Chain A
Amino acid sequence: MTRIVDPDPRLLRVALTPDPAAWPRGDLAAAILADVERTPQRRGLRVPLAGWLATPQPVALTRLAALGVTLLALVAWLYLLGQRPPTPVPLSNGDVFFVRGGDLWRVAPEGGEPVRLFETPDVLEFGPIWSPTGERAILITFPGDAPRMSMDVINADGTGRRHLAGPPEHVLASFAGDPSWSPDGRFVAFVRERKGFPRVAIMDVDTGSARIIDSPWPINDPSWSPDGRWIVGHTPGDVSSTVRVVTIDAETGQTIVVHTDRGRIGRMTWLPDASAVAYAIDRPDSNELHLLRTDGALERLDTGGLQPVEALLSPDGTRIAFAAAVKHCTAAPHVMRLDGSELVRLEGESWLAGWSPDGEWVIVTTEKPFDPLVGGLVAIRPDGSERRTIVPWTNQDVALESGSGYCNRERPSFSGIGWRGFRP
């Protein structure tokens, strides 16, 4: 076999150039134009004001003076507004939070009108990731004009938003995200990527002090164990790459590779007794559902031939919800006991979003390619006996401005949903 360590540019070009005949799937141009039809342009004041001032000089000066006075009044009004305490967003226990159109929304679990918590047109938000005590949450933020991901923290009532961590200012393209809370809600483990090498960092949320875990491997998706002792993560890669599952001792920062495999690992969730993590592994030939013990012992869960792509343990650890690939770009959420019994298909083409804190409901999101107004956020009993729509996507407030993409894997509702835990 040819060993290549430093490929010459010609070979690199051959390896990375797509077939000149490669063509977008479906009628991509038509899909784009359909989205454009639904999308308003973002316009500033620059052009109208320029026209308004393009008049003979004395008139222009008068108008400029008037504009100055108006701006001064506006600044004074904003200053006075800033002196008033912020109006807290009323919040009840167990509300569902979701991201739609890049903004964060709240809705009662039984449904009703959703409330937009933040309207930030220049920043996309993901999450929220609630602390185990339900007192605060982390939002992932992504400014549309810069390839930088950061994290903000908010209180449970939506107030007190502050920047938590981000890449250094001088680094144009970098990343801080994938947060996981410590069980006591004081610390957060997250990935801080610089120069393409993701490392796990642990930060005290109150003081902002952080330490970087030293590891010879890049580590993604840290997940803190319920006993606070371990943080588990895995190396990045695609479906055909070697992947290592790594545990980090939360006290000492020591890293240990507990399992090596091939494929792409999805989200990892812990059993409540902190004895194992569950995850789906995505491979070119077959997908599997794994239960990996902290000592490295691996158990393959029987999914009856289904191809899991994403899995989440129930809060009590007795069941596992997983999305199984059904056809191109779609999946069907299922629930079963860990021994493979009581397998239930919850819904057709939709995605797994999360469990309710009491384990009584599973939330799924349904969405059709090319048609963003079909489906919604749906809560289903784990045994499939009851189903209710929390938010239909036909709701005008949350209808996506830009529509749904063809095979839209970056679905905001999917990557951003959290059912806030009940206060003790």
Chain B
Amino acid sequence: MTAIELRGIERQADRALVERARDGDRQAFGQLIEPRVPTLYRSALSILRHEADANDAVQQACVDAWRELPRLRDPDRFDAWLGRTLVNRCRMILRSHRRVSVREVSVDTLTTEPGGRDRATDDWSGVDAIRRAFGRLSADHRIALVLHHVEERPVAEMAALLGVAEGTVKWRLHEARRALQRALQREDA
């Protein structure tokens, strides 16, 4: 059996699970969600840069997805639809930061290079500056940068996920880059 055939079978199985979950089958929803939780969590962590917030976002997005699932017309669109729900939850959490402030340990796990590098070196100072500057960005700018540069989603896919035109996505990416540049200049100052 080829990899393509396997993927086809997986898609069919997922479609069946979505249809069962849409009809109110909680067990099917559990089977659908469980393997996706780590990926959703890492997406949320990229956008929010905060472990507890990322947990909250994923949990709330999944409950939203369960509640609204009967409204999903095309089961094949489940993943894009779930991603959109998560992005909206991340936005809400970033908004709520205006009112709620909790002392938290920062995300030390935001490293990618195996073996780790000394944070005091110049190389890391650039990475840290980007992270600090990223923390100044708005929800939409964060989401655009993460979807494109971290998750490497093409513009068309981002447009489908965010529910906007491709031109809007391109403009948002452009704006997000400019906002990041301005934030980096402020960090430098």
Tell whether, in the assembled complex, residue B139 and residue A12 are in contact, meaning their CB atoms are under 8 Å apart.
no
Give, as a whole number of angstroms, the nearest-CB distance from B149 to chain A.
5
Most A-side CB within 10 Å, residue of B126, B162, B186: B126
Tell whether, in the assembled complex, residue B56 and residue A407 are in contact, meaning their CB atoms are under 8 Å apart.
yes
Q: Nearest chain-B residue to A42 (Cβ)?
A: B67
B139 in complex: contacting residue of A22, A173, A267, A405, CB < 8 Å: A173
Give, as a whole number of angstroms, the nearest-CB distance from B123 to chain A.
7
Say yes or no: is A275 at the interface (Cβ < 8 Å to chain B): no
Q: Which residues of B contact A329 (CB under 8 A)?
A: 52, 102, 104
A411–B63 CA distance with the chains assembled, in angstroms = 15
Say yes or no: is A54 at the interface (Cβ < 8 Å to chain B): no
Tell whether, in the assembled complex, residue A39 and residue B34 are in contact, meaning their CB atoms are under 8 Å apart.
no
Chain A residues 202-241 with CB under 8 Å of chain B are 220-221, 236-241
Say yes or no: is A1 at the interface (Cβ < 8 Å to chain B): yes
Given A36-B26, A142-B92, A147-B88, residue A16 in contact with residue B46 (CB < 8 A): yes
Say yes or no: is A35 at the interface (Cβ < 8 Å to chain B): yes
Say yes or no: is B170 at the interface (Cβ < 8 Å to chain A): no
Encoded as 1 (CB less than 8 Å from any A CB) or 0, chain B from 75 to 115 comes to 00000000000011001110111111111101101111100
Give, as a whole number of angstroms, the nearest-CB distance from B153 to chain A.
13
User: Which listed segment binds B: A24-32, A293-301, A340-348, A381-389?
Assistant: A24-32
Say yes or no: is A51 at the interface (Cβ < 8 Å to chain B): no
Given A44-B71, A282-B103, A409-B56, residue A237 in contact with residue B26 (CB < 8 A): no
Q: Which residues of B contact A409 (CB under 8 A)?
A: 52-53, 56, 93, 96, 100, 102
Tell whether, in the assembled complex, residue A402 and residue B67 are in contact, meaning their CB atoms are under 8 Å apart.
yes
A356–B102 CA distance with the chains assembled, in angstroms = 23
A238–B130 CA distance with the chains assembled, in angstroms = 13
A19–B42 CA distance with the chains assembled, in angstroms = 8
Tell whether, in the assembled complex, residue B37 and residue A28 are in contact, meaning their CB atoms are under 8 Å apart.
yes
Given A16-B46, A44-B70, residue A406 in contact with residue B56 (CB < 8 A): yes
Q: Which residues of B contact A7 (CB under 8 A)?
A: 126, 130, 180, 184
Say yes or no: is B167 at the interface (Cβ < 8 Å to chain A): no
Say yes or no: is A181 at the interface (Cβ < 8 Å to chain B): no
A25–B38 CA distance with the chains assembled, in angstroms = 10
Q: Which residues of B contact A37 (CB under 8 A)?
A: 26
Tell whether, in the assembled complex, residue A19 and residue B111 are in contact, meaning their CB atoms are under 8 Å apart.
yes
Give, as a whole number of angstroms, the nearest-CB distance from A322 to chain B.
11
Tell whether, in the assembled complex, residue B112 and residue A14 are in contact, meaning their CB atoms are under 8 Å apart.
yes
Say yes or no: is A15 at the interface (Cβ < 8 Å to chain B): yes
B38 in complex: contacting residue of A23, A42, A178, CB < 8 Å: A23
Say yes or no: is A328 at the interface (Cβ < 8 Å to chain B): yes
Tell whether, in the assembled complex, residue B126 and residue A22 are in contact, meaning their CB atoms are under 8 Å apart.
no
- Per the CB 8 Å criterion, the residue count for chain A at the interface is 91
Tell whether, in the assembled complex, residue B179 and residue A405 are in contact, meaning their CB atoms are under 8 Å apart.
no
Say yes or no: is B58 at the interface (Cβ < 8 Å to chain A): yes
Q: Which residues of B contact A18 (CB under 8 A)?
A: 42, 45-46, 107, 109-110, 112
Q: Which residues of A contact B102 (CB under 8 A)?
A: 282, 309, 325, 329, 331, 409
Q: Nearest chain-A residue to B52 (Cβ)?
A: A407
Q: Which residues of A contact B134 (CB under 8 A)?
A: 15-16
A375–B95 CA distance with the chains assembled, in angstroms = 26
Tell whether, in the assembled complex, residue A172 and residue B101 are in contact, meaning their CB atoms are under 8 Å apart.
no
Say yes or no: is A287 at the interface (Cβ < 8 Å to chain B): yes
Give, as a whole number of angstroms, the nearest-CB distance from B29 to chain A.
6
A22 in complex: contacting residue of B37, B88, B109, CB < 8 Å: B109
Most A-side CB within 10 Å, residue of B93, B101, B162: B101
Tell whether, in the assembled complex, residue A280 and residue B101 are in contact, meaning their CB atoms are under 8 Å apart.
yes
Tell whether, in the assembled complex, residue A43 and residue B45 are in contact, meaning their CB atoms are under 8 Å apart.
no
Tell whether, in the assembled complex, residue A22 and residue B135 are in contact, meaning their CB atoms are under 8 Å apart.
no
Tell whether, in the assembled complex, residue B113 and residue A14 are in contact, meaning their CB atoms are under 8 Å apart.
yes
Say yes or no: is A335 at the interface (Cβ < 8 Å to chain B): no
Say yes or no: is A4 at the interface (Cβ < 8 Å to chain B): yes
Tell whether, in the assembled complex, residue B30 and residue A410 are in contact, meaning their CB atoms are under 8 Å apart.
no
Tell whether, in the assembled complex, residue B109 and residue A32 are in contact, meaning their CB atoms are under 8 Å apart.
no
Q: Which residues of A contact B175 (CB under 8 A)?
A: 195-196
Tell whether, in the assembled complex, residue A28 and residue B70 are in contact, meaning their CB atoms are under 8 Å apart.
no
Say yes or no: is A392 at the interface (Cβ < 8 Å to chain B): no
Tell whether, in the assembled complex, residue B59 and residue A31 are in contact, meaning their CB atoms are under 8 Å apart.
yes
Say yes or no: is B146 at the interface (Cβ < 8 Å to chain A): yes
Chain A residues 39-57 with CB under 8 Å of chain B are 39-44, 47
A403–B103 CA distance with the chains assembled, in angstroms = 23
Tell whether, in the assembled complex, residue B63 and residue A402 are in contact, meaning their CB atoms are under 8 Å apart.
yes
Say yes or no: is A415 at the interface (Cβ < 8 Å to chain B): yes
Say yes or no: is B161 at the interface (Cβ < 8 Å to chain A): no
Tell whether, in the assembled complex, residue B96 and residue A241 are in contact, meaning their CB atoms are under 8 Å apart.
no
A26–B104 CA distance with the chains assembled, in angstroms = 16
Given A240-B135, A309-B102, residue A25 in contact with residue B96 (CB < 8 A): no
Q: Which residues of B contact A23 (CB under 8 A)?
A: 38, 41
30 A-B residue pairs with Cβ-Cβ distance under 8 Å, sorted by A, are: A4-B126, A7-B126, A11-B127, A12-B145, A13-B112, A15-B130, A20-B42, A21-B109, A23-B41, A24-B55, A28-B55, A28-B58, A32-B37, A32-B63, A33-B29, A35-B63, A42-B68, A144-B68, A147-B87, A147-B139, A172-B164, A177-B98, A178-B99, A238-B132, A238-B136, A287-B103, A331-B102, A409-B102, A410-B56, A410-B100
Residues of A within 8 A of B (CB): 1-7, 9, 11-26, 28-29, 31-33, 35-37, 39-44, 47, 142, 144-145, 147, 149, 172-173, 175, 177-178, 191, 193, 195-198, 220-221, 236-242, 264-267, 280, 282, 284, 287, 307, 309-310, 325, 328-329, 331, 401-403, 405-411, 414-415
User: Which 10 A/B pairs are nearest by Cβ-Cβ distance?
Assistant: A196-B138, A238-B135, A15-B130, A325-B103, A407-B52, A266-B101, A19-B109, A24-B41, A32-B62, A18-B45
